[in-house]
Amino acid sequence: MSEAVVDRDQMNIVIVGHVDHGKSTVVGRLFADTGALPQGKLDSVRAECARTGKVFEYAFLLDALSDEQDQGITIDTARCFFKTASRDYIIIDAPGHIEFLKNMISGAARAEAAALIIDAKEGVRENSRRHGYILAMLGIRQVTVCVNKMDLVNYSQEHFDRIEREYREFLAGIGAVSPKQFIPIAALNGENLANRAASMPWYQGPTFLETMDGFIKAPPKVDQPLRLPVQQIYKFTAQGDDRRIIAGRIEAGRVNIGDKVVFSPSNKSSTIRSIEGFNTQPRTSIDAGWSTGFTLSEEIYITRGEVMSHVEHAPLVSTRLRANLIWLGKKPFLPNRDYKLKLGTAAVPVRIHRLLKVIDASELNSQLQKDHVGRNDVADVILETRVPIAFDLIADSESTGRFVIVDGYDVAGGGIVVESVRDDQDELRSEARLRDFNWVKGSVGLDARAARFGQRPALIMFVGKANVGKHRYAMAVERALFDHGRATYLLDGTNVLMGVDHDLTVDATQAELVRRFGEVAYLLLDAGLLVVSTTNAIGLADHSAVQALIGDTPSVVIEVDPRGVSVAPCDLRIRGDEPESEVVARVTALLTSRAILR
């Protein structure tokens, strides 16, 4: 009978560096020297070279695509499988040509460790630097530098030392981790790859193969705070299945049945009822690395993009974040334009709030005077999302601290979050989070109310100057909704002023008026109602503050503007001379289009 399946580590290593510095040769020769090639592969490539009159190169083994053999450069990331006595490797051979930087990134983003190849004769070149920066940004901390083609510099130690010194200085300058090991190699002859070279007795360090086996496999991030970006909520009804499953991958931490969990940015909370799986043993606890699913004790309405955590270690929530990013788009990254930010499983509209600096990635010490981020540029920016998003700083949690930016249909840039930046609603949002996380729930939940009333709560705000007809329209809209069987409430600002705001003096800050109005609205919304509000005190400019307090409850804003001068964005703008029936019809259509009414 056969031997048992032995569990072996599998590790992804990417080979990067400037074009023609010999990356593919390193990998090809390593394969040949360790007997890792399938029978026939070496012969077929040799035969092909003989047929076409080319000098055989180890790189041809990897550059299997026709374009690449014709041009003699790697244009795409190729993956090859390779094993040593201690473990299995996936070797990712990344292209070194600037044209194919995005392919290099695709390869490197999957790696756990990297080897950067520098040509001894050419020395440190622009992509040696650029790739070094990208490895740091991608979060690859185990890097070995191979100084290749040592045969072309007479195996000179002095030459090798000079390159090591220069490159270490460069990495220190960009704040990247300095590599553990620099290895002098001559890949074409197989020197210091799998076998120790007699030609460089001055080098006493490990061979490349020994260094690879010395890379440490990063354990799953079990000891960090829980992070599960929600991928989707499943309710498959086939074959009588009535489970409502919150699906996603635990990126960090651990969670147990019975744990109280919170979701950001909606601040909803519930308790883990079960851990679901198919063809697996039942579990009471699950941790980082697993793509899993849960049912919750109390059904709450949450959506993809939220991050599940424990209440005491919730992620940050803001609309502004400072980031380092690299841009790869054919078109530049411009201010005053909307893009899509994808972070974790969230996808939200984003734009540049401030461009702090743009750097030429090949030099990285030269700041460019630019008002946009060009292709292959590196930038330090403050991004602003249209709605609040949950995230972490890259130093605290990797998977929720990095993002990509989509331009049109294409991923055009990627980066890491280095700082959370305060926005105008920061204080109110913190108040709302604290309130929600500690909210004492009744036995009737939001979902139960939604089922009873046949509606989800929403705020319908009429804003505008005094005496333009807001109250009249608000009453008509509430009446119409109520008459159609909806559960409604008319929240008139005067009533809040006379009661809740009674203690405020005339010079009370606008912020406090807005805060109290928002909290009152929140209570009514928590009761499951469609709240129609009308007030002179709360204007269009206060809407985002109110929204910060009511969280992810939908709201629509209708401005009454008889003079037709207002240009600030709102959901519907009317003049005040329209018949009430017309306004009712337009508001109803708006609510239907937003799926607030069904």
Partner 1 sequence: MDHLDVLEQQSVYILREAYRHFERLGMLWSIGKDSTVLLWLARKAFFGHVPFPLVHIDTSFKLPEMIAYRDRLAREYQLTMIVGQDEATLAAKNTFPDKFKANPAMTDAEQAAARTACCSLLKAGALSATLNGTGVRRRLNLQTGVYEIENDRQPYHGVIVGARADEEGSRSKERYFSPRTKENTWDVGDQPPEFWNQFKTDYAPGTHVRIHPLLDWTELNIWEYIKREQIPTVSLYYDQGAGTRYRSLGCGPCQTPIQSTATNVDDIIAELKSGKLRNIAERSGRKQDGKHGLEELRRQGYM
Contact positions vs partner 1 (CB under 8 A): 1-3, 5, 7-10, 35, 37-41, 48, 64-67, 75-81, 88, 90, 102-103, 105-106, 109-110, 138, 220, 231-232, 234, 236, 238-239, 241, 243, 245, 247, 249, 276-279, 289-291, 293, 304, 328, 340, 342, 399, 402-404, 406, 408-411, 414
Asked whether 92 and 40 are in contact (CB, 8 A), the reply is: no
State the minimum distance, in angstroms, from the CB of residue 385 to partner 1: 16
Q: How far apart are CA 401 and CA 396, in angstroms?
A: 8
* 279 vs 438 by CB, closer to partner 1: 279
State the minimum distance, in angstroms, from the CB of residue 204 to partner 1: 34
Sign (positive or negative) of CA dihedral 28, 33, 34, 35: positive
State the minimum distance, in angstroms, from the CB of residue 257 to partner 1: 17
State the minimum distance, in angstroms, from the CB of residue 406 to partner 1: 6
Q: How far apart are CA 368 and CA 357, in angstroms?
A: 7
* 70 vs 503 by CB, closer to partner 1: 70
* 203 vs 294 by CB, closer to partner 1: 294
- Where does 499-579 have alpha helices with state H? 510-526, 543-550
Asked whether 130 and 105 are in contact (CB, 8 A), the reply is: no
DSSP-based three-state secondary structure for 309: strand
Sheet of strand 88-93: strand arrangement: 78-83, 88-93, 10-17, 113-119, 143-148, 181-184
State the minimum distance, in angstroms, from the CB of residue 302 to partner 1: 14
State the minimum distance, in angstroms, from the CB of residue 97 to partner 1: 11
* 303 vs 430 by CB, closer to partner 1: 303
* 498 vs 595 by CB, closer to partner 1: 595
In sequence order, what are the residues at sequence separation of 6 or more whose Cβ sits closer than 8 angstroms to the Cβ of residue 532?
460, 462, 474, 477, 478, 481, 488, 489, 490, 491
* 67 vs 582 by CB, closer to partner 1: 67
Size of the chain in residues: 598
* 102 vs 515 by CB, closer to partner 1: 102
Could you give the C-alpha distances from 571 to 111, 528, 532, 556, 590, in angstroms and in order?
46, 22, 14, 6, 8
DSSP-based three-state secondary structure for 310: coil
* 68 vs 478 by CB, closer to partner 1: 68
State the minimum distance, in angstroms, from the CB of residue 326 to partner 1: 9
State the minimum distance, in angstroms, from the CB of residue 414 to partner 1: 4
Query: Which residues lie across from 417 on neighbouring strands?
Result: 323
